[in-house]
Amino acid sequence: MTWAFRVPPSARNSSRGIFCSRTLNLRSISAIGYDMDYTLIHYNVKAWEGRAYDYCMRNLQSLGFPVDGLAFDPDLVIRGLVIDKEKGNLVKADRFGYVKRAMHGTRMLSTQDVSEMYGRELVDLRKENRWEFLNTLFSVSEAVAYMQMVDRYDEGAISADICPPDYRGLYKAVGKALFRAHVEGQLKSEIMSKPELFVEPDPELPLALLDQKEAGKKLLLITNSDYHYTDKMMKHSFNRFLPNDMGWRDLFDMVIISARKPEFFQMSHPLYEVVTGEGLMRPCFKVRKGGLYSGGSAQMVENSLDIHGDEILYVGDHIYTDVSQSKVHQLWRTALICRELEEEYSALIHSRDHRATLIELINQKEVVGDLFNQLRLALQRRNTGRPAQTLAATNMDDQDLTESMQKLLIVMQRLDEKIAPMLEADGELFNKRWGFLSRAGLWDKSHLMRQIEKYADIYTSRVSNFLYYTPFMYFRSQEQTLAHDSYSYYQAQINGSAVDSTGAN
């Protein structure tokens, strides 16, 4: 008998794979909750964030801010950067919090400037009065507007009458202008009137949820968006791709709008049932299957479904609002949606030759540097009357040592001249200013990647990637390598060779 399998894309070789940080067995998951914006619905970033930026700038201009000549530049910012509200900078930190790249206003800072400014301090996201982590694509418009306003502030174009005379006050003013754009409703009204201009359709996404529902999973929609916006956008994105005249509401056992995340996971709010197509609501104390509600809490969801903690998987795009808070407060399992992974995956593949050449040059420098240091140690020992017994200094007098060291310095300098621009260019296929999303420098992970690994059990580029896996999939995390693993492997190889040479069994 011949068996034909639909093989899911491997996390190692597909940009549409689902990547696992902590082992997750979908068979043990009874309910799957979804965020909506940038999760079930993916917006065209240039279009959506561009309009958010436009409304923000209009509001700033009405307050007297100089915005003439400014335009939205989505390449100025990537997710995972951190705003330094004290210095008016945008920084990229590694997993430890060390700043690797920085920009003041819209001007990238040199390596020396970064070292002088941040060499003795770490990014600490707990200090919210100073650091603002760009968790989501919704942060792009705000960050672009802020960095451009920093330029105008430095030029002296913003008077103290408009906002407090510091970078922190400037950030607050920009944030208020963007918040006003969302609250006044003009932005969302425009998007609702022409969703096709802002939403990127994904025909596979509703089918992925249909698989999960038919496998017995209870599906939940938990969004901060209001009823009218949610209904309009979900109808546009889902209904045309569902079979048999199904509507988007038919997929979900529970829909919660205006959820007020992250407070939804932290505390309880009054629960209301939406009872009319116009969005009228009444107080509610008991939920029913297929109901549409406003407010409530995660604890209420657990109680109503009679399932708890790690029986629920929550899927969202916001590391803090969606992923970390549902895990920390409710112990829900978590999945992060990060669309940029697809572009980064492609950029990494096309950067393989560049990175291989760079690593080879760095290895050459390490060999030359080690040889130089051995000669230096030999000379140091001789100067103090000790035997200069180092591997590289055998049968060399002082003059030979000095001349050899000078030659090695020249070699290292030439290697540095090749390495430095290549390091600067590493990741430019993803973003010319900031490099790769998940990496900080050649060797280390970015602060964003550290947050993803800490709080997201699995992560992927889009919800529809679940379609390539069964609803019963067992996601297993990869072996985590440690600094001494390569040494252990090397020793095992040596020991194995030694055993082979003696003929032992």
Question: Which of the residues are catalytic?
Answer: 35, 37
Say whether 400 counts as a known binding-site residue: no
Pair of tokens at residue 99:
């700043």
Say whether 37 counts as a known binding-site residue: yes
Long-range contacts, stretch 372-381, CB < 8 angstroms, 24+ apart? 372/405, 372/408, 372/409, 372/412, 375/401, 375/404, 375/405, 375/408, 376/405, 379/405
Task: Determine the residue type at 417.
Answer: E
The Cα–Cα gap between 22 and 18 comes to 12
Say whether 250 counts as a known binding-site residue: no
Say whether 25 sits in a helix, a strand or coil. strand
CA angle 163, 148, 194 (to 5 degrees): 100
Closest CA to 114 of 101, 129, 127, 98: 101
Peptide bond into 262 cis (omega under 30): yes
**Beta bridge partner(s), residue 104:** 89, 107
* 3-state secondary structure labels for all residues of 224-276: CCCHHHHHHHHHHHHHHHCCCCCCHHHHCCEEEECCCCCHHHHCCCCEEEECC
Pair of tokens at residue 93:
């930190």
Which sign, positive or negative, has the C-alpha torsion 278, 279, 283, 288? positive
Residues in binding site: 35, 37, 317
Residues in binding site for Mg(2+): 35, 317
Residues in binding site for GMP: 37
